[in-house]
């Protein structure tokens, strides 16, 4: 359950992670610097924007810390690493869902809650839109926000005949096991709680959290799951099979995907950002993580309203309870 956050007596610090290079981001950053400076809250700012390191390109847009100091804030510039969020009260994310997932990589290991301000397109992970920045800052500065837990999955790649994983990672949205070459199908067997469920050739398979159900899993034909639900979603991607329906399993389940030993190599793509090799014959095991991601809430908007708004769903004719 979320609860109102007490304002600490020592020096408060917000970590800011921004999708830079846009005029509206610069304007929002200056507003944050001015308001936090007036409230005596220090800012720690990630020095550049690295998007999708799993992709063959990296874009960087340095942030000018002097611009923020001129607005009245005490500013520390930091690199994006495991120490970025240590000691911060919260992580404030300016951008879309991609920027939010990048910030989660900093917040989750440190156990620091994060909140998104949408400056992207859909921005499903964001708590508020950019035009509400003053209202958001009023709530954050006053400590008038709640922190709730969002389910996270642990991912392990295990070689045949081995007990210890060859690689580990975690995901907030989903892990996608797919063909490395994108040429032909990936032959896989899906297993739940130690028992085989289905075998087929496919482009890949997704194992997602309720938070991730409205992301890639949704595009692949999976159901929408309310984010406070605890469950694991399994969605085949373009499977060549008569039975290849999405499955919703218990949050206590162990979901495994075995790649056929005589087939093609695969990769496990974690939240679209981090890539793990999955050689032919190996398996990917996915379980609920012991720790959850801490998520800042300032609104009590029903999730159904968020669905309607973000996906522009038609609700004409609704009368409600009379």
Q: Which residues are catalytic?
A: 97
What are 320's two structure tokens?
Answer: 């409600």
Q: Distance of CA 130 to CAs 69, 118, 123, 147, 217, Å? A: 21, 6, 11, 20, 27
Put the strands of the sheet holding 186-192 in their side by side order: 167-171, 153-158, 283-288, 255-259, 186-192, 195-202
- The dihedral formed by the CA atoms of 253, 192, 265 and 57, expressed in degrees to the nearest 10: -30
Give the Cβ contact number of residue 115 at 10 Å: 26
Q: Give the separation between CA 94 and CA 322, rounded to whole angstroms.
A: 40
Q: Distance of CA 168 to CAs 6, 131, 209, Å? A: 35, 39, 17
Q: Give the separation between CA 83 and CA 100, rounded to whole angstroms.
A: 17
CA 72 to chain centre: 31
Q: Distance of CA 27 to CAs 21, 41, 71, 119, 241, Å? A: 11, 19, 11, 11, 51
Q: Give the separation between CA 102 and CA 260, rounded to whole angstroms.
A: 32
């Amino acid at each position: 359950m979320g609860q109102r956050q007490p304002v600490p007596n020592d020096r408060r610090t917000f970590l800011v992670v921004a999708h830079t290079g846009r005029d509206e981001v610069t304007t929002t950053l200056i507003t944050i610097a001015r308001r936090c400076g007036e409230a005596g809250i220090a800012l720690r700012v990630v020095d550049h924007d690295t998007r999708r390191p799993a992709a063959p390109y990296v874009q960087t847009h340095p942030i000018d810390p002097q611009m923020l100091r001129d607005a009245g804030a005490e500013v520390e510039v930091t690199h994006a690493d495991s120490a970025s969020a240590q000691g911060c009260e919260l992580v404030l994310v300016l951008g879309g869902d991609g920027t939010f997932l990048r910030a989660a990589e900093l917040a989750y290991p440190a156990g620091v809650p994060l909140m998104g301000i949408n400056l992207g397109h859909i921005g499903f992970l964001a708590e508020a839109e950019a035009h509400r920045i003053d209202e958001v800052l009023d709530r954050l500065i006053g400590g008038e926000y709640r922190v709730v837990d969002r389910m996270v999955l642990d991912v392990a790649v295990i070689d045949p005949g081995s007990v210890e994983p060859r690689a580990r990672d975690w995901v907030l949205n989903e892990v996608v096991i797919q063909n490395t070459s994108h040429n032909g199908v990936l032959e896989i067997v899906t297993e739940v709680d130690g028992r085989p469920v289905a075998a087929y050739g496919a482009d890949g398979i997704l194992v997602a959290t309720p938070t991730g159900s409205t992301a890639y899993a949704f595009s692949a034909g999976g159901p929408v799951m309310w984010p406070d639900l605890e469950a694991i979603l399994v969605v085949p991607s373009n499977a060549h099979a008569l039975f290849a329906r999405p499955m919703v399993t218990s949050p206590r389940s162990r979901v495994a995907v075995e790649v056929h030993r005589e087939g093609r190599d695969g990769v496990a793509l974690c939240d679209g950002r981090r890539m793990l090799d999955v050689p032919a014959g190996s398996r990917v095991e996915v379980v609920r993580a012991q720790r959850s991601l801490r998520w800042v809430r300032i609104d009590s908007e029903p999730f159904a309203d968020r669905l309607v708004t973000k996906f522009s769903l038609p609700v004409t004719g609704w009368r409600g309870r009379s």
